[in-house]
Structure 1
Amino acid sequence: MSKPIIGITSGFVKLTNFSEGDYAHKDYITSLTMAGAVPLILPIAPGSCTERYAELCDGFLLSGGCDVNPQFFNEDPTPGCGVFDTERDQAELQLVHESLKRGKPLFGICRGLQVINVALGGTLIQDIDSQLDHPIQHEQKVPRREGSHRVRLEKSTRLYQVLGEQETIIVNSLHHQSIDKIGAGLKVAAFSSDGIIEAIDMTEKGLMGVQWHPESMTAGGSDAMLGLFKHFVAACIEMKQANSGV
């Protein structure tokens, strides 16, 4: 069986008036390659392109990036809400639904976790520092490959099993938004000490999401975080074999 092709959603960056385009952090590519997959960066393209992406890829990694437009969870932007990209939101929300319909595994990271939650009817805290009474630091000041705060894993979840049945782990943290109301069918898999939801899963659909950045911890040498990518890639291989009748 050939290596699975994993589509990585991208953001949009403009470096100069002569240099702009789609972007995904190199650590996503490094981690998926280390886990035995073929990574493929997907340009932002809603509509029929999303359906073709769902046909071509064996699974999808929803990457980090800008805020989610609050219109997609029926709210107006609060003062603490940052820049959002409505076109990217539309494309990724469509991709979530298309993937679930086709049974393609999904791995949401940071913003990707939030997009999955919104796609399934959930809502977001638009700015943790201004909406939470006693938040911990969720936008760390140390390098992104280093962990900065603890999360507590729920024992009845797949994430707990994949991460070696540890009750707490140290993760990195680069976000100011998070899940508020949980989306339909999702299970909370981890919390931070201030009550922020740090991970979700939906076992029967091959879906998981984390609020931290395991790709950078993997690139920094974390075997535990590499295990998340290996688990995701294994799910993509299993689904690929099932679909091909192997």
Structure 2
Amino acid sequence: MKKLSYLILLLFLSTVLPAQNFFREKFDNGKKYILLANPTAGNIETINFLVNQGLLKVDLRKVHFVGVYFEHQNYDFKKSKKYIHEQELTHFDLHEFRGDLSKNKLFANNSLTEELKYVFRNSAGIFFFGGPDIPPGVYNEKNSLSVVTDPERHYFETTFLFHLLGSFHNEKFTPFLQENPDYFITGFCLGMQTMNVATGGTLIQDIPAEVYGAVTDKATLETPKENLHRNYWQNISDDTQLMGINFHPIRFTTHPFFTKRVKAGKDSSPLVLSSHHQAAEKLGKGMLVTAVSSDGKIVEALAHDTYPHVFAVQFHPEVPALYENQEKRKFHPDDAPQTYHQIIGKKGLKFHKKYWKYISKALKKAGK
């Protein structure tokens, strides 16, 4: 009886939950569609939080979010579908891309090209979120220090960004943004790394080992805290209050992105939430560095040299805990626990709010 009830529930959900074929079905051409790559339930929850808090300012009467993903990704996007339904998020939908992808066909026309173009032409911009390591074969390197868990996600997001922006890997290809230079693209952490790799750049596979010569957690923790990009104390301590991330300052380059566009103070060094062990190395086509780590060794932000609404950061400005007091955590076992909100302080909060204000402004300007 229980099994029958469960099957009936699944059948009911399959008929009432939002379709995962959004752009294959009839949709309102009068809306502005913003894409979310890798639309996990967590990423949808994050964007919804930012909208509800007024950080990401969009008019939900005119704007609609569509999560896009590849059919062979590891994540079960039925969870996203269920989350949208349960939370009654009428301004979110999903679209599944289907086809064949391999690392040998990412930088050319492939089975997704026509559908990517159609979705591009019917949207105004896209967000790329954080996640696991990109297969080094995508940027023509052997795997030395990368941990790859979802190659199909990376193939999809890499080829999508290649189609949008072009790449050193295929100079003859005309990027989609030539057709619409005002299209909006941004990324966080992995999102920035993928943007760099897709346009022909490479990655440092492990910052502690390749930049600082530290091959053990203990050796890594001898590096000054401001030069650590995640928390390695959690690997050698059983303290359950340790955060997995680190907060460290960044500094802006002479590029005007942060100082003139975002209007952050020229000499300010805001604390950012950092959770990565890889970083951009050789820059991709059109990529310019707009911020670096305090020691100048790690790229913290990129902007495109041609397209005004294409930019990304290595850190995580999207995390809800930055904007309100939540669980208290600590970096070192001897530290006093604090919330992320307390750690960044008023200056850090001001910087992050200015960044979201700029993102909102860029999205408003971006058109179909």
User: Into which bin does the TM-score normalised by the smaller protein fall?
Assistant: 0.7 to 0.9
What one-letter code is carried by the residue in structure 1 that aligns with 2:357?
K
**Structure 2 partner of 1:158:** 257
Residue aligned with 2:366, SS? helix
Counterpart code for 2:310: L
Which structure shows the bigger proportion of residues in strand conformation?
1
Measured in 1, the distance between the counterparts of 2:212 and 2:188 equals 25
- In the aligned structure 2, how far is the partner of 1:3 from the partner of 1:24? 22
TM (norm. structure 2) is: 0.56
Q: For 1:83, which of 137, 144, 148 is the aligned residue? A: 148
Q: Please give the per-residue CA displacement for 1:156-204, whole angstroms capped at 9, x wherever unaligned.
A: 3212320423432111101111001111211101111241010011153
Which of 136, 139, 150 pairs up with 2:230? 139
Percent identity between the aligned chains?
Answer: 25
1:220-235 matched pairs, under 5 angstroms: 220-221=323-324, 222-235=349-362
- Which residue identity lines up with residue 299 of structure 2 in the other structure? I
Q: Kindly indicate whether residue 300 of structure 2 is the aligned counterpart of residue 198 of structure 1.
A: yes
Give runs of aligned pairs for residues 34-45 of structure 1, distance below 5 A: 34=54, 35-37=56-58, 38-44=64-70, 45=97
Match of 2:208 in 1: 129
Residue type matched to 1:178 in 2?
A: A
Structure with bigger gyration radius: 2
Which residue number in structure 2 is paired with residue 16 of structure 1? none
Matched residue SS, 2:155: helix
Shift of 1:32: 4.8
CA contact (8 A) 1:122 1:182 kept: yes
- 2:289 maps to 188
Aligned to 1:216: 319
Query: What is residue 31 of structure 1 aligned with on the other side?
Result: 50
Q: Shift of residue 52 of structure 1? A: 3.6
8 Å CA contact 1:121–1:184 kept in 2: the answer is yes
Which residue of 2 is the match for residue 15 of structure 1? none
- Structure 1 position 64, deviation (Å): 0.5
Aligned equivalents of 2:141 and 2:314: distance in 1? 21
With over 3 angstroms needed to count, the CA separation of the structure-2 counterparts of 1:229 and 1:55, relative to structure 1, is farther
- Using the size of structure 1 for normalisation, the TM-score is 0.81
* Bigger RCO of structures 1 and 2 (CA < 8 A, at least 6 apart): 1
Contact 2:202-2:281 at 8 Å conserved across structures: yes
Which residue matches 2:128? 62
**Secondary structure at 2:306's aligned position in 1?**
helix
Structure-1 separation of matches of 2:228 and 2:353: 24
RMSD over aligned Cα, in angstroms?
2.7
Which one-letter code corresponds to 1:7 in the other structure? L
Give distance in 1, aligned partners of 2:353 and 2:32. 16
- Separation (CA, whole Å) in 1 of partners of 2:293 and 2:198: 23
Q: Secondary structure at the match of 2:36?
A: strand
Q: Is the 8 A contact 1:198 1:211 kept in 2?
A: yes
**Paired AA for residue 225 in structure 1:** H
Amino acid at match of 2:270: I
Which amino acid is 1:151 matched to?
I
User: Number of aligned pairs?
Assistant: 229
Query: For structure 1, which runs of at least 5 residues remain unmatched after alignment?
Result: 13-21
